[in-house]
Amino acid sequence: MKRILTFIALAIIVTSCSNDKSQEKLLLDSVIKAHDKVMADDNVIMNNKMKLKGMVTPATLPAIKDSVAVYTNILAKADDAMMVWMNKFNPDFTGKTHRQIVDYLHQQQAQIVKVNGQLDSAITISNKFINNTKK
């Protein structure tokens, strides 16, 4: 009887650990997926910065120059937010408990979603300005 109870207890522990690791992997995959989207958006940010820079010539009206500076700044802030998040993100969970890992990944998920929103907003408004100014 002791052997059966020991086996059942061991099975529960192994299953629990497996579920914990599975949850951690799903959360990490979710954060990485959001990161990959942000990285794709970063290319758009860089392209828009280049387009804005190309719009300014000595003959450019001062109002357009001012607007270019504003939109360039918005893009730079969004890009900086992404870089700050990337530099602080640390997926090394050595010595961390399951709860610590899950809490960290939830926190990172919230942060990357916020950065993603900032990037999307910067891209949308800069695209609108670029497209309207070209006409």
Is the torsion defined by CA of 89, 87, 75, 38 positive or negative? negative
**Model confidence over 75-117: pLDDT tens digits?**
999 999 999 999 999 989 999 999 999 999 999 999 999 999 9
Domain-located, residue 105:
yes
Domain-located, residue 11:
no
- Please tell me the predicted confidence (pLDDT) of residue 14: 45
Domain-located, residue 115:
yes
Residue 6: which pLDDT band, with cuts at 50, 70 and 90? Answer: low
**Model confidence over 28-83: pLDDT tens digits?**
888 888 888 888 888 999 999 999 999 998 888 899 999 999 999 999 999 999 99
Domain-located, residue 14:
no
CA–CA distance, 24 with 47 (Å, rounded to integer)? 35
Domain-located, residue 82:
yes
Residue 40: how many CB atoms within 10 A of its CB? 10
Distances from the Cα of 5 to the Cαs of 1, 16, 71, 72, in angstroms? 6, 16, 67, 66
Domain-located, residue 58:
yes
What range defines the domain where residue 109 resides? 22-134
Domain-located, residue 2:
no
CA–CA distance, 99 with 88 (Å, rounded to integer)? 20
Structure tokens at 73: 């700044």
Task: Indicate the number of domains in the chain.
Answer: 1
Residue with tokens 């100014």, as numbered in its chain: 133
Residue 1: which pLDDT band, with cuts at 50, 70 and 90? Answer: low
Domain-located, residue 1:
no
